[in-house]
Amino acid sequence: MSTQSQALEIHRPTPCLIPYRTPYSPINSTAEETRLIKLLPGDYDDAIEVRLHTVCLSKRPTFDALSYAWGTELSPREVLLNGVLVPVTSNLDCALRHLRLESASRMLWVDALCINQDDVQERSLQVRLMDEIYSSAEQVVIWLGSATKSEDTSDHNYAAAMACIKLNVVPKSIYQEASLVKAFDHLISRPWFSRVWVVQELALAKRDPVVCIGRYSVPWSQLTDFILGPATWSYIHLLTCKPSELTQGKRLDYPATFLERKDQIEHLCLLRKRRLHRQYSSLAYLLRNTGKSFASDPRDKVYGILGLSTPNTVTMIADYSLSVQRVFSEAMALLIGHSLWQAFGMRPLHPPRKSGATRWDVIPELPSWVFNLTWYISGPTTAQWDSQLHNSTLFLIPQDEFLKDIVVKLLGVCPVARFLNNFSTLYTIGASIGTVAATSLDTLSELSSVPGMLKSAAFSKLYYRIAEPRDISIDSFLEALEGYSNNRNSVFNQDIPGKKSAFQEIIINPDSHDIISQADGLVSVYHRILFPLVNSAYARILFVTDKGHIGLSYHPDPFNGIRPGDLLVGLFGINFPFLLRPVAGGYQMINVAYVVDHKWGHDFVETAEPVTDWKELGNFGLKEYKII
């Protein structure tokens, strides 16, 4: 760990006589000025005193940068900052005490102290410099928190855990030590791993960051080699599959934490590797891979990744005077303009119907076409899959490559969208496909609780209620339930011989004993045909239109979320199917939709000349839609 220390006599802080004055003097952020703190030396229990120093990043000052999770609990002890007592969180107080040297000062960049958090303009300008700050630091220090003794862990356990990490081995004796297992679990469960800002702070570090927990430290590369290594995963698999005295005959819950963190850590490592090779990432990619990361300020879900995005493609800058609604809307507008083929496939527009495993903030006045970036799935991996599956756009839209080709062709003719009123209103062009005439209501959401072959009866009743009266074939009914599942590399991509004929038999004769008595038996019929359908269509809403279309979509309200009278429209000039609802002043976007036998794109694009006004496309059946 780099110290950047200098000899200095021990200095004890003196009382602050004017506690209400600001410790900050103005800085010129546009000239790449920032502040560093000089952490004065002292023993662990001494009061903390720091002094601010203004530096210019272009002059390459020497300092370490702290990467940590703020936390919400305030420390009972304040920090003396330029002679002014200021409150800090308990986690920062603990970090400074562990990082402080006994006989020399230390230069650090710590956002909570180096930025005047009460000055919105300064905070915005300094956040724009974050990429340069962390890439300029001699060392990025990752602070995970204290290694305090508790009922579950002890200082000895953390020491043993760190030894395992540095050696990248899992000794056989670890199998008999439940407390050591808990130390690993607590280590990777620290809030730092789920904080959105760490993505940028880690990726931009020019040297291997140092990870600290209490008085213990380990290089980031060694920590990740251990967590992602085969020895660790063999051990986790052992605990999961072979209950022992360690688990009192029960399967451990800890592997769920490892599984959840594994994906996050892999993404962190990948982003760091890409940046070290001077490779940038699209905003869509970054938003998708930080979906599970938290931010105390929702705007940081966007601002926290801007420093890693591909230059010249993202025009956004951090501005904390803007509302959360405005920041999310502008980010979505950028996605639609630059990555329409990814925009509506990476995040759901609605929360899941069963919200037990999810959390999100309510964003007032968020436009209907903008997803809520605070939406997050928690809980074990199985609960995450169940919750994410039924409200995401999985199976509702084709894969990115297919959409990209269509969008690129259109861009030679006209833009896909315009945004007005501070990004609160989306204007685009589209063609009417039909009007919703009937829906499945909550039938598909109830299928998971219907036992065995009774699912056949549920599918049959649904078909004869909404599809058969409109001359929609059983084959089309099956395709609607599957969506794009058979076009994706997943467990649902199954080319089952005789699937269509078997499904027709299920619909026509749901109670037929012939189905059950087939050579492969009941298990084959259910698992090979019904089970994939239940999963791909679970909690979705099937709809039919006045023109005989049948399709699949999602809304958390199965009764009024999608209802007769809603419009099915092909938007963005590429015939991208969406469900819209006419409202005062325009249309409300309900969700994307899968439509059986739908033709994407428009033939006129192949030969059309560029246009300056969308009205010129009226001859091709397109009109402007105002979506609010």
On whether residue 54 sits in a domain, the answer given is yes
pTM: 0.87
pLDDT digits (tens, 9 = 90+) for 351-394: 877 655 567 788 999 999 999 998 876 554 444 444 445 567 87
Range of the domain at 445: 412-606
- Token pair listed for 461: 């009743």
pLDDT digits (tens, 9 = 90+) for 238-268: 555 544 444 444 444 555 566 677 878 898 9
Predicted confidence at residue 55, as pLDDT, reads 98
Cα–Cα distance between 29 and 205 in angstroms, integer?
Answer: 21
569-602 as b/e: b if 16+ CB within 10 A: bbbbbbbbbbbbbeeeebbbbbbbbbbbebebbb
Cα–Cα distance between 100 and 75 in angstroms, integer?
Answer: 17
Q: Helix, strand or coil for residue 480?
A: helix
268-296 as b/e: b if 16+ CB within 10 A: bbebbeebeeeebbbbbbbbebbbbbbbe
Q: Helix, strand or coil for residue 188?
A: helix
Choose one of 120, 137, 154: the last residue of a domain: 137
On whether residue 254 sits in a domain, the answer given is no
**Closest alpha carbon to 343 in 272, 397, 418, 423:** 397
The helix or strand, by DSSP H or E, that contains position 242, with its residue range, turns out to be none
Predicted confidence at residue 237, as pLDDT, reads 59
On whether residue 418 sits in a domain, the answer given is yes
Predicted confidence at residue 95, as pLDDT, reads 98
CB under 8 A, 24+ apart: contacts of 215-220: 215/98, 215/147, 216/147, 216/158, 216/159, 216/162, 217/1, 218/162, 218/165, 218/166, 220/142
Predicted confidence at residue 256, as pLDDT, reads 55
Predicted confidence at residue 171, as pLDDT, reads 61
Cα–Cα distance between 309 and 320 in angstroms, integer?
Answer: 19
Predicted confidence at residue 497, as pLDDT, reads 67
Choose one of 137, 169, 186: the last residue of a domain: 137
**Helix H segments across 471-571?**
474-482, 499-508, 513-516, 521-525, 531-537
Cβ neighbours of residue 311 under 8 Å, at least 6 residues apart? 280
β-strand pairing of 567-571 with 550-553: unpaired
Choose one of 119, 137, 155: the last residue of a domain: 137
- Token pair listed for 435: 């009007």
Q: How many residues does the chain have?
A: 628
Predicted confidence at residue 169, as pLDDT, reads 76
Predicted confidence at residue 238, as pLDDT, reads 56
Predicted confidence at residue 453, as pLDDT, reads 66
On whether residue 443 sits in a domain, the answer given is yes
Predicted confidence at residue 512, as pLDDT, reads 67
Q: How many domains does the chain have?
A: 2
Cα–Cα distance between 330 and 428 in angstroms, integer?
Answer: 16
Bridge partners (DSSP) listed for residue 139: 64
Instruction: Collect the ranges in the chain with pLDDT lower than 70.
Output: 1-20, 148-156, 171-181, 231, 233-259, 354-358, 377-391, 452-453, 486-497, 512-527
Predicted confidence at residue 336, as pLDDT, reads 95
- Residue 58's Cβ-count burial label (10 Å; 0-12, 13-18, 19+) is exposed
On whether residue 401 sits in a domain, the answer given is no
Q: For 586-600, give the DSSP string.
A: EEEEEEE-EETTPPP
**Closest alpha carbon to 500 in 520, 483, 479:** 479
Q: Helix, strand or coil for residue 352?
A: coil
**Closest alpha carbon to 182 in 235, 254, 260:** 254
CB under 8 A, 24+ apart: contacts of 226-233: 226/164, 226/165, 226/168, 227/188, 227/258, 227/261, 227/262, 227/265, 228/262, 228/265, 228/266, 228/269, 229/168, 231/168, 231/169, 231/170, 232/170, 232/258
